[in-house]
Amino acid sequence: MMANYFADHIWLPHGWGEKVRVDVGAGRLLEVAESAEREGAEYLGRYVLPGMPNLHSHAFQRAMAGLAERQTNPEDSFWTWRETMYAFAGRIGPDELRAIAAQLYVEMLKAGYTHVCEFHYLHHQLDGKPYADPATMSLALIEAAREAGIGLTLLPVLYMTGGFDGRPLSERQRRFGFEVDAYLRLIEQLRKMENSTLRVGVALHSLRAVPEKAMRTVLESGLVDAAPIHIHIAEQIGEVQDCLALRNARPVEWLLDHAPVDPRWCLVHATHMTSVETRRLAETGAVAGLCPTTEANLGDGLFPLKTYLDAGGAFGIGSDSQISVSPVEELRWLEYGQRLATRHRNVTVSESSASVGENLWGDALFGGAQACGANIGTFEASARADLIVLDDAAPQLVARDAANALDTFVFAGNANLVRHVMVNGEWAVRDGRHRDEERIAVGFRKTVESLAQRA
């Protein structure tokens, strides 16, 4: 079965293409033709973009968004937020995880994300014992992504210690813990399920949580030869200080010196880097996984974007703690953080375009797709057919042309301008409505109500 679509403008690898016709079959783009005739193809609208990859998500945290915004102590910090988050995580079993994730993924799709990397560490039962099937919680996420119709890169997380000193996991961390052998078996089991909308990579929670020897075993296991490898790194100053004290190097510096960091890698946050680390990271071809709304919400700090981009670094965006679920808001805050810090305007530009919106969207597509390890984020033959159609009847867009459409989409307005969303050749969202949103919302509501009662 082949379907044919036509739009006035489609975002192609070189920028906007005009009068573009695309042929879609078996979930893929078969042909993309510019300056084409519409003929019998379905007309989509004025502006069509590749869907945005979301490179960092902890799905369960969506259900606690807004519950950690009251001061409990003048010293409130990332670490006190983490205690609140752990207490909440302790109430989530497989049914809860599936219902929360399905709702979250519907919201992601409606906002323009068409693929998500789940950095998943809620593996075991509360006492730390594996479920009868150790993949139970992973399967809940896979099922949620299938229900919602979003592409998924599942990144089961290796989590072993409670700090750089190798201390054991705290009681609340016990359900995250894995020995390396059991972890690798989980990866092998899940790999068998891979298909056009599911990839399985690996994740090391952080340098705090994975001893060097275990890191080596995973990297040498043969299970990551061509798969994405994600790690949280240098998000908080406390982590930099501990790393300096125990490993005599800063986190990014240490990783670059001790691991074969290359384009398979995604370094999530990488907030606190010297300019030398920043340039070295850029040169590896790895992706910096930036989560601006979470990083702002948790008081992490600002990523050194300008130095990184000047060195040719790749980045993508993630919704992380789900305090916001919107690629537009992530990109806007990425740029605004830089403007506020430098007191300049229009920071994220490049030789190919002076438009900040075009650079942000285009760069995050490229880096996001790389971090997902999937053939997405681009309108080229053989890529997965993932696209979003902007609502060109919206007031913000009526008087815009292609030269400023992405700037308007990213910066102007709070109403969602995403009208239709396709993943793998199928419509997940039409006219702003997800195909199964009512049923999924009912399941979510029941779940959060029962979680509130158990609080």
CB closer to Zn ion, 269 vs 332 = 269
Residue 222 CB partners (closer than 8 Å, separation 6+): none
Residues in the interface with ligand NGQ (CB under 6 A) total 9
CB closer to ligand NGQ, 107 vs 320 = 320
Active site residue 165: no
**Degrees, nearest 5: CA angle 188-213-222:** 30
Backbone region of residue 166 per phi and psi (left: phi > 0; alpha: psi in -120 to 50; beta: other values) = left
CB closer to ligand NGQ, 13 vs 93 = 93
What is the C-alpha end-to-end distance of the chain, expressed in Å?
50
Residue 320 binds ligand NGQ, judged by CB under 6 A: yes
Q: What is the CB-side half-sphere exposure of residue 142 using CA atoms within 13 A?
A: 19
Nearest Cα neighbor of 348 from 356, 358, 337, 340 is 356
Catalytic residue among 320, 363, 391, 407: 320
d(CA 105, CA 112): 11
Find the shortest distance in angstroms from Cβ 249 to ligand NGQ: 19
Find the shortest distance in angstroms from Cβ 327 to Zn ion: 17
- The token pair at 320 is 């992380």
d(CA 119, CA 266): 11
CB closer to Zn ion, 57 vs 348 = 57
Among 118, 235, 335, 358, binds ligand NGQ (CB under 6 A): 235
Residue 294 binds ligand NGQ, judged by CB under 6 A: yes
- The token pair at 90 is 């302790």
Find the shortest distance in angstroms from Cβ 321 to ligand NGQ: 5
Find the shortest distance in angstroms from Cβ 235 to ligand NGQ: 5
CB closer to ligand NGQ, 25 vs 211 = 211
Residue 232 binds ligand NGQ, judged by CB under 6 A: yes
Residue-wise burial string across 38-47, b where 16 or more C-beta atoms lie within 10 A, e elsewhere: eeebeebbbb
Subset of residues 311 to 330 that bind Zn ion, contact rule: CB under 5 A: 320
d(CA 154, CA 151): 10
Burial of 37 (0-12, 13-18, 19+ CB in 10 A): exposed
- The token pair at 147 is 């229900």
Binding track over 76-95 against ligand NGQ, x by CB under 6 A: ------x-------------
* Residues 16/402, Cβ–Cβ less than 8 Å: yes
235: partner contacted, choices ligand NGQ, Zn ion, none (Cβ within 5-8 A by kind)? ligand NGQ
Catalytic residue among 269, 272, 420, 434: 269
* Residues 129/137, Cβ–Cβ less than 8 Å: no
Active site residue 269: yes
Residue 58 binds ligand NGQ, judged by CB under 6 A: yes
355: partner contacted, choices ligand NGQ, Zn ion, none (Cβ within 5-8 A by kind)? none
Encoded amino acid at 390, one letter:
L
62: partner contacted, choices ligand NGQ, Zn ion, none (Cβ within 5-8 A by kind)? none
Q: Which residues bind ligand NGQ (CB under 6 A)?
A: 58, 82, 206, 232, 235, 294, 298, 320-321
Q: Which residues bind Zn ion (CB under 5 A)?
A: 320
Active-site amino acid positions: 269, 320
